[in-house]
Amino acid sequence: MLNIVLFGPPGAGKGTHSQRLVSRYNLKHLSTGDILRSAIQEQTEEGIEAAKFMDRGELAPDRIALKIIGQCLDEFNGTTNGFVFDGFPRTTVQAAEFDVLMKNRNTAVSLMLSLEVEYDELILRLEKRAQHSGRIDDGDISIIKNRIQVYNQQTRPVKEYYKKQGKYVEIHGMGTVDEIFQKICNVVELIESR
Ligand code: ADP
């Protein structure tokens, strides 16, 4: 299986490149942010709890993110070539638990692709996205900045977890979408040919 963790701060382009990876390599897209937003709309117990954190730009509890991913793996494992994990894992606790979830299902993360984008560019992209996304956490510059801060403090360390496993690859995320996606594909094809 080809299991890609697509990593990077809010606004780095994870959603855009996930869509492209999914269609190029015939994978299943799992975005914990999208799944949580659906749960909020459906007013499930987890959605109601997660919303309290998400609206402020904080992370939802690890327990909720892990439960969602476990359920998705059970739903799709065996019926797909692999997954693109978009926005997960976001803490080192999630990363360690994720390894266990994958191992129990006889699979593993193939690689982490980390999209590197400068701070000023992230702010510009998120402000632009805010004009049409309708997301509460895009709606206010202080929440946008808080999400980037939460990324730097709680999520960035996840890179070290995958570096230690020799699965970490950095992608310079500035330039056109086509240019960046080409770099991503070069890495994926190298991994696949091993
Ligand atoms: P972005 O990365 O652009 O901010 P996402 O849709 O990935 O957007 O995430 C939106 C919000 O959903 C996050 O700020 C966080 O509150 C919540 N969230 C998404 N994935 C996770 C996760 N794995 N763990 C905890 N919270 C999450």
60 lines ligand 1 (CB under 6 A): yes
Rounded Cα gap, residues 174 and 185, in angstroms: 16
* Range list of β-strands (E), 87-163: 111-116
CB 153 within 8 A of CB 57: no
Beta carbons within 10 angstroms of residue 190's beta carbon: 11
CB 126 within 8 A of CB 10: yes
In the numeric block, the tokens 């998400």 are attached to 54
> What is the amino acid identity at position 193?
S
Rounded Cα gap, residues 58 and 16, in angstroms: 22
Locate the ligand 1 atom nearest the alpha carbon of residue 88 and give its number: 23
User: What token pair was written down for 57?
Assistant: 């730009």
* Mutate-to-test residue for ligand 1 from 34, 35, 52, 54, highest number of ligand atoms within 8 A of CB: 54
Q: Which fold has domain 2-184?
A: Rossmann fold (3.40.50)
Q: What is the mean pLDDT of residues 136-144?
A: 92
- From the list 16, 25, 12, the residue with the least C-alpha distance to 4 is 25
Locate the ligand 1 atom nearest the alpha carbon of residue 135 and give its number: 10
DSSP code of residue 86: E
88 lines ligand 1 (CB under 6 A): yes
Between helix 14-25 and helix 177-192 the angle, nearest 10°, is 50
Residue-wise pLDDT tens digits, 97-116: 999 999 999 999 999 999 99
9 lines ligand 1 (CB under 6 A): no
CA of 13 to the centre of ligand 1 (A): 13
Residue-wise pLDDT tens digits, 33-43: 999 999 999 99
The model's confidence at residue 194, banded by pLDDT at 50, 70 and 90, is: confident
Q: What is the mean pLDDT of residues 60-82?
A: 95
Share of the chain above pLDDT 90, in %: 93
- From the list 22, 11, 32, the residue with the least C-alpha distance to 127 is 11
**Which residue, judged by its Cα, is nearest atom 1 of ligand 1?**
10
CA of 82 to the centre of ligand 1 (A): 21
CA of 54 to the centre of ligand 1 (A): 7
* Mutate-to-test residue for ligand 1 from 16, 32, 66, 145, highest number of ligand atoms within 8 A of CB: 32
User: What token pair was written down for 86?
Assistant: 């978009």
Q: Does the pTM of the predicted model rise above 0.75?
A: yes
- From the list 116, 118, 112, the residue with the least C-alpha distance to 160 is 112
- pLDDT score of 77: 84
Domain ranges in the chain are 2-184
3-class DSSP state for residue 150?
helix
Residue-wise pLDDT tens digits, 163-176: 999 999 999 998 99
Residue-wise pLDDT tens digits, 15-29: 999 999 999 999 999
